[in-house]
């Protein structure tokens, strides 16, 4: 016992240090929630670190199984994707054109196939006869005209783009309403078209808007493009001019199919006249 | 003896006052925060008994803690400081010199000893404070940076105060 006392008094600095250090640490940890949490955390850091290392090893061994299951899950999820579903709701917007007392309806469709760099370009849209689309309808988009429907299936329709050798639409100069006929240019540039057969009296200016005339599939006044060059060919009865198209055909995404309510009647009437000739 | 008590009491009050009302508001780039109050523990007389030194250090730390809202942190650091002080003095100072040089001040002990003394003890104390304060290894570079810069700041302040109260004295 005496030896113990002597030992303690010899090393009294250390024992006093221990007593006061423990006291202050107890105060510290009791009073600071962060250190209290941190104490447990730092203990966990060590154990957690080991667990993580071991887990990394296990994970490496089971890579193949994980890979297979991920691929399966991917396929499953892809099946659930919105794009793999067919959207069968149809949006129709009605536009009353009171001046011509004519009614157009627009059917929204998404372009699911498109080309711009061939001699004859077509695009496929995801609406078909079930949604009311018929052959011969015009197709426009927010920036201008796109083409016309040439084939229809139940759920899809094939659109002959403006960028097609046989495409020809009635157009006019926006300011003077001089009528011409719009076709794709010979140099197959997807941004250029040609306005032909404009009357000699017209005085087109560079940069002037060319719009639809209302005589063909489209309502009047839908923009087509701006005059980019005036080519007076041969000095005949008509003027030809180059047009920069306002629609970027390579970036088409959503289009509106124009449903002209009186198209059938008009066609029937005109067909009768042809028959008569 | 009573003079020594009075001087130390005064020193305690002044240093705590400076620490709490001046240095607490000083922080260079949020990195360097000096803890000048340790000077009080450093300058306690050589012959102070251990049973008195530890409570004094503990109470000093608690006083600072009361103002810093970190109960226990500076108390623990000060107790560590007191312990290291005992070890350091036990190693470097002969016991029979106590009568003539009652306090480990710059003027009593000379620059070399004094500088080593404050360097060692400040580093230990600050290391303890900053490591206990952050209490994890995540921001270790930041903690070490704060520790080193704060130690530098504290040491400079202690040296300045040592020079201010420097009394030229005949050394034996």
Question: Could you give the ipTM of this predicted complex?
Answer: 0.76
Among A24, A26, A29, A41, pick the best mutation site for testing chain B contact (most B Cβ within 10 A).
A24
Buried b / exposed e along B92-125 (16+ C-beta atoms within 10 A): ebeeeeeeebbbbbbbbbeeeebbebbeebbbbb
A37 touches chain B (CB under 8 A): no
Chain B hits for A29, Cβ within 8 Å: 72
A11 touches chain B (CB under 8 A): no
Q: Which tokens belong to B166? A: 């420097």
Q: Where are the domains of chain B?
A: 2-164
Query: How does residue A233 score in pLDDT terms, banded at 50, 70 and 90?
Result: low
pLDDT of residue B170: 52
Percent of chain B residues past pLDDT 90, beyond the cut? 27
- For A21, the closest of B55, B80, B135 (CB atoms) is B80
Q: Which domains does chain A have, with CATH numbers?
A: 2-80 (no CATH), 92-276 (2.40.10.340)
pLDDT of residue A48: 62
**Cβ distance of A21 and B137 shorter than 8 Å:** no
pTM of the full structure: 0.47
Chain A hits for B51, Cβ within 8 Å: 12, 16
Average pLDDT over residues A195-220: 83
Q: Is a pLDDT exceeding 60 seen at residue A42?
A: no
- For B50, the closest of A13, A21, A26 (CB atoms) is A13
**Average of per-residue pLDDT values in chain B:** 84
**Cβ distance of B80 and A13 shorter than 8 Å:** no
Percent of chain A residues past pLDDT 70, beyond the cut? 82
Percent of chain A residues past pLDDT 90, beyond the cut? 0
Q: Is a pLDDT exceeding 60 seen at residue A100?
A: no
Tell the residue number behind the tokens 């600072």, with chain if given.
B64
**Cβ distance of B137 and A12 shorter than 8 Å:** no
Chain A hits for B55, Cβ within 8 Å: 20
Cα of A38 to nearest chain B Cα, Å: 7
**Cβ distance of A28 and B57 shorter than 8 Å:** no
Please give the interface size between A and B, counted as residue pairs whose CB atoms are below 8 Å apart: 73
Query: How does residue B123 score in pLDDT terms, banded at 50, 70 and 90?
Result: very high
pLDDT of residue A196: 83
Quick check: B26 and B41 in contact, CB under 8 A?
no
- The DSSP string of B87-138 is HHHHHHS-GGGTTT--S--HHHH-HHHHHHHHHHHHHHHHHHHHHHHH-SST
CA pseudo-torsion sign A131, A132, A136, A142: negative
pLDDT of residue A197: 83
Q: Is a pLDDT exceeding 70 seen at residue A89?
A: no
* Tens-place pLDDT, residues B102-116: 788 887 788 888 899
pLDDT of residue B172: 44
**Cβ distance of B79 and A27 shorter than 8 Å:** no
At residue A122, the 3 state secondary structure works out as strand
Chain B hits for A41, Cβ within 8 Å: 136
Average pLDDT over residues A188-203: 82
Q: Is a pLDDT exceeding 60 seen at residue A41?
A: no
Beta-bridge partners for A122: A160
**Cβ distance of A14 and B136 shorter than 8 Å:** no
Most confident of A85-89, A271-275, B57-61, B109-113: B57-61
Query: How does residue B49 score in pLDDT terms, banded at 50, 70 and 90?
Result: confident
Which residues, 6 or more positions from A17, have their beta carbon under 8 angstroms from its beta carbon? B54, B79, B80, B82, B83
Average pLDDT over residues A37-57: 64
Beta-bridge partners for A94: A105
A41 touches chain B (CB under 8 A): yes
pLDDT of residue B156: 93
pLDDT of residue A33: 65
pLDDT of residue A98: 59
pLDDT of residue B101: 60
Average pLDDT over residues A208-236: 80
Cα torsion B123, B124, B130, B136 to 10°: value is: 130
Report the 3 state secondary structure along A214-252: CCCCCCCCCEEEEEEEEECCCCCCEEEEEEEECCCHHHC
Pairing of strands A122-125, A157-161: antiparallel
**Average of per-residue pLDDT values in chain A:** 79
Quick check: A200 and A217 in contact, CB under 8 A?
no
pLDDT of residue B160: 92
Average pLDDT over residues A114-140: 84
Most confident of A8-12, A31-35, A43-47, B126-130: B126-130
pLDDT of residue B119: 92
Q: Is a pLDDT exceeding 80 seen at residue A31?
A: no
**Cβ distance of B51 and A34 shorter than 8 Å:** no
């Amino acid at each position: 016992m005496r030896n113990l006392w002597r030992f303690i008094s010899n090393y009294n600095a250390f024992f006093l240090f221990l007593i006061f250090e423990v006291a202050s640490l107890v105060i510290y940890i009791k009073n600071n929630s962060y250190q209290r949490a941190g104490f447990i955390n730092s203990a966990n850091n060590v154990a957690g670190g080991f667990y993580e290392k071991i887990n990394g090893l296990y994970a490496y061994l089971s890579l193949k199984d994980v890979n297979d299951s991920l691929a399966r899950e991917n396929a499953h999820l892809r099946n659930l994707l919105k794009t793999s579903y067919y959207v069968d709701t149809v949006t129709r917007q009605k536009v009353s054109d009171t001046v011509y007392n004519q009614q157009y309806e627009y059917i929204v469709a998404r372009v699911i196939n498109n080309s711009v760099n061939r001699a004859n370009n077509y695009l496929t849209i995801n609406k078909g006869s079930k949604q009311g689309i018929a052959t011969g309808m015009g197709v426009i988009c927010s920036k201008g005209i796109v083409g016309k429907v040439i084939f229809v299936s139940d759920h899809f329709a094939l659109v002959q783009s403006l960028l097609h050798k046989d495409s020809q639409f009635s157009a006019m100069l926006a300011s003077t309403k001089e009528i011409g006929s719009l076709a794709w240019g010979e140099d197959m540039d997807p941004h250029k078209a040609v306005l032909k057969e404009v009357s000699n009296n017209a005085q087109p200016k560079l940069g002037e808007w060319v719009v639809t005339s209302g005589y063909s599939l489209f309502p009047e006044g839908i923009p087509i493009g701006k005059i980019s060059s005036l080519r007076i060919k041969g000095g005949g009865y008509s003027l030809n001019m180059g047009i920069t198209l306002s629609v970027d055909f390579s970036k088409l995404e959503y289009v509106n199919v124009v449903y002209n309510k009186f198209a059938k009647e008009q066609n029937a009437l005109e067909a009768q006249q042809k028959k008569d000739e | 003896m009573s003079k020594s008590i009075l001087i130390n009491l005064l020193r305690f009050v002044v240093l705590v006052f400076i620490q709490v009302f001046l240095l607490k508001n000083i922080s260079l780039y949020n990195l360097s925060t000096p803890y000048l109050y340790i000077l009080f523990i450093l300058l306690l007389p050589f012959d102070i008994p251990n049973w008195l030194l530890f409570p004094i250090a503990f109470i000093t730390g608690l006083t600072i803690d009361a103002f810093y809202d970190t109960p226990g942190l500076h108390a623990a650091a000060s107790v560590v400081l007191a312990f290291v002080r005992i070890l350091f003095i036990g190693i470097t100072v002969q016991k029979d010199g106590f009568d003539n040089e009652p306090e480990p001040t710059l003027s009593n002990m000379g620059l070399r000893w004094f500088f080593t003394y404050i360097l060692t003890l400040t580093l230990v104390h600050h290391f303890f404070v900053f490591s206990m304060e952050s209490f994890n290894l995540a921001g270790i570079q930041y903690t070490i940076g704060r520790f080193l810069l704060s130690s530098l700041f504290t040491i400079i302040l202690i040296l300045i105060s040592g020079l201010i109260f420097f009394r030229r004295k005949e050394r034996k």
